């Protein structure tokens, strides 16, 4: 309460000073003495504009160079190189425009500082200049957008038929991942069946889902396309795999997808970075709540043979949770008995009528 009172007092003091300053100006105008000498303050402010341009530009360049490696981890996917080229092409184009406009902005602030006896030139309109600064940016932006759309359509379009398929589901505050079993078909899930054990909502009445499994980490084979089927159970999340240059939103009620081909195994990347503890990572880079920081999931890129060996060792959700499967079987049996009873009762009902 004391802090609020002090804040209110400061605000009132600023208001009072503002009113006094305005009153002084009005008094000067009515007395005919509103003209005043600028002194050196205008010159100082103009010079400070140039100082800010130089110092700020140098600080920006240093910060960019110092954090370059953090912003650009090594690429470990086929499409990542095309995405990187597109990104840096865009950054170079808008970076040049940014630098040019900022230099002109601060330089003009210095060059055209107020001087007694000099008036600004009134320049109302020029068709040639209007056309130039409208058409050129439009062409450049259209080219960038077309290149981006072309690459985006490729990586979000149909995946190769032999792609490894897995589903990633985000929820507060962790990732759930499931693979199809040996039938290579993901089973049906139903949000009404979600509970503490069945977090995915497996509908085990669907035979395609009986061999689906939920691993503790993602494994994908090197040099083989991988299709991610993505969805969210609650709020907006983002599937972010920086080394693979993958980012796709997980949107409640709207499945999305993304496919990529990894090019470096986890061991190869560890050797390249000189870090034996390195792991690829799936993270959420959308602030989805208080536990957002915990949404990480390990990704392992294996040699194809190692991936096959890992895949063959996985146990399905139904095998790991026999109680859930037994419950589904009981429900199915009850449903069959109920349907049979209804079928028997129907002719008798018709006869009585």
Distance of alpha carbon 1 from the chain centroid: 40
With 0.85 as the threshold, say if the pTM is over it. Answer: no
Taking the C-alpha atoms of residue 281 and residue 298, their distance in angstroms, rounded to an integer, is 5
Predicted local distance difference test score (pLDDT) of residue 325? 73
Predicted local distance difference test score (pLDDT) of residue 11? 84
Nearest to 224 by CA among 161, 311, 298, 278: 161
Per-residue pLDDT of the chain (353 residues; tens, 9 = 90+): 577 778 888 888 888 877 777 776 667 666 665 555 556 777 888 888 899 999 999 999 999 999 988 888 999 999 999 889 999 999 999 999 999 999 999 999 888 888 777 787 787 888 888 899 899 999 999 999 998 898 888 888 888 989 999 999 999 999 999 999 888 888 888 888 888 888 888 888 888 888 889 999 999 999 999 999 999 999 999 999 999 999 999 999 899 999 999 999 999 999 999 999 999 999 998 888 888 988 999 999 999 999 999 999 998 888 888 877 777 766 655 555 565 666 666 555 555 55
Taking the C-alpha atoms of residue 239 and residue 220, their distance in angstroms, rounded to an integer, is 16
Taking the C-alpha atoms of residue 138 and residue 133, their distance in angstroms, rounded to an integer, is 9
Q: Are 77 and 83 in contact (CB under 8 A)?
A: no
Taking the C-alpha atoms of residue 265 and residue 300, their distance in angstroms, rounded to an integer, is 7
Taking the C-alpha atoms of residue 328 and residue 337, their distance in angstroms, rounded to an integer, is 14
Name beta bridge partners: 165. 227
Q: Are 227 and 330 in contact (CB under 8 A)?
A: no
| Distance in Å from the first CA to the final CA of the chain | 81
Predicted local distance difference test score (pLDDT) of residue 241? 94
Predicted local distance difference test score (pLDDT) of residue 15? 84
Taking the C-alpha atoms of residue 220 and residue 303, their distance in angstroms, rounded to an integer, is 9
Q: At what angle do helices 78-111 and 41-66 cross, to 10 degrees?
A: 170
3-state class (DSSP) for residue 226: strand
Strands (E), 124-266: 164-171, 174-178, 218-221, 226-232, 237-241, 246-250, 256-260
Radius of gyration of the chain (CA): 33
Q: At what angle do helices 78-111 and 127-156 cross, to 10 degrees?
A: 160
From the DSSP assignment, how many helices (H) and strands (E) are in the chain? 9, 9
Name beta bridge partners: 240. 247, 283
């Amino acid at each position: 309460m004391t802090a609020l009172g002090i804040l209110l007092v400061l605000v009132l003091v600023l208001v009072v000073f503002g009113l006094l300053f305005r009153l002084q100006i009005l008094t000067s105008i009515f007395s005919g003495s509103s003209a005043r000498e600028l002194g050196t303050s205008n010159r100082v402010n103009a010079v400070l504009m140039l100082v800010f341009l130089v110092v700020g530009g140098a600080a920006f360049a240093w910060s960019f160079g110092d954090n370059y490696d953090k912003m650009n981890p090594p690429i470990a996917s086929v499409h990542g190189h095309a995405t990187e080229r597109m990104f840096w092409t865009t950054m170079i184009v808008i970076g040049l425009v940014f630098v040019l406009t900022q230099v002109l902005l601060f330089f003009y602030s210095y060059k055209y500082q107020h001087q007694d006896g000099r008036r600004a030139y009134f320049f109302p309109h020029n068709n040639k200049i209007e056309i130039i600064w409208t058409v050129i940016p439009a062409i450049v932006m259209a080219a960038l957008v077309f290149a981006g759309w072309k690459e985006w359509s490729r990586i979000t379009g149909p995946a190769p038929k032999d792609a490894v398929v897995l589903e990633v589901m985000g929820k507060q505050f962790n990732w759930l991942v499931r693979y199809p079993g040996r039938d290579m078909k993901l089973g049906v899930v139903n949000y009404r069946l979600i509970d503490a054990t069945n977090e995915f909502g497996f509908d085990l009445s669907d035979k395609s889902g009986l061999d689906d499994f939920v691993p503790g980490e993602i494994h994908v084979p090197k040099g083989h396309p991988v299709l991610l089927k993505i969805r969210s159970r609650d709020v907006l999340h983002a599937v972010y795999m920086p080394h693979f240059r993958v980012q796709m939103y997980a949107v409640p009620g709207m499945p999305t997808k993304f496919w990529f081909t990894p090019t470096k195994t986890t061991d190869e990347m560890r050797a390249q970075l000189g870090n034996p503890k390195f792991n690829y990572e799936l993270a959420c880079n959308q602030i989805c709540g208080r536990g957002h920081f915990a949404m990480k999931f390990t990704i392992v890129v294996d040699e194809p043979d190692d991936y096959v060996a890992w895949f063959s060792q996985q146990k399905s959700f139904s095998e790991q949770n026999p109680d859930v499967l037994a419950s589904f079987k009981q429900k199915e049996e009850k449903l069959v008995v109920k349907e049979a009873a209804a079928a028997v009762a129907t002719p008798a009902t018709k006869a009585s009528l």
